[in-house]
Amino acid sequence: MAEIDSFPYHLWNSKTGEHEGYSTLDGARAALLAWISQQRQAGEVVLETDTGQWRDSRVTRWIADRKNTIIKLEAVKT
């Protein structure tokens, strides 16, 4: 748990259970947006769920804070 607490924001991956830590929310959002863009460029359909998670045909990704609260992206054009 100490690893999770070292960063206030994490980008989670449902397929692997791994997470990438970010010191700022902007950094985590940029990483999630880059993943969304990369998947779409590869022809994947990427959709946002009601919870604020983003999924393609294989994986769901999302940003969460230290309390594991999902943080939605704001004003993302789909």
Cite the beta strand spans of the chain per DSSP E: 9-13, 19-22, 47-48, 54-55, 60-65, 70-71
Helix (H) or strand (E) holding 35: helix 25-41
Residue 41 forms part of a structural domain: yes
Residue 27 forms part of a structural domain: yes
Query: What pLDDT does 74 receive?
Result: 78
Residue 77 forms part of a structural domain: no
Token representation of residue 12: 């989670």
Residue 47 forms part of a structural domain: yes
Residue 78 forms part of a structural domain: no
The total number of structural domains that make up the chain: 1
Residue 6 forms part of a structural domain: yes
- The mean predicted confidence, pLDDT, of the chain is 90
Domain that holds residue 43: 2-71
List the end-to-end C-alpha distance of the chain, in Å, as a whole number: 34
Query: What pLDDT does 78 receive?
Result: 46
Residue 65 forms part of a structural domain: yes
Strand partners, 70: 64
The string of pLDDT tens digits covering residues 32-78 is 999 999 999 999 999 999 999 999 999 999 999 999 999 998 744 44
Look at the chain and count its residues: 78
Residue 64 forms part of a structural domain: yes
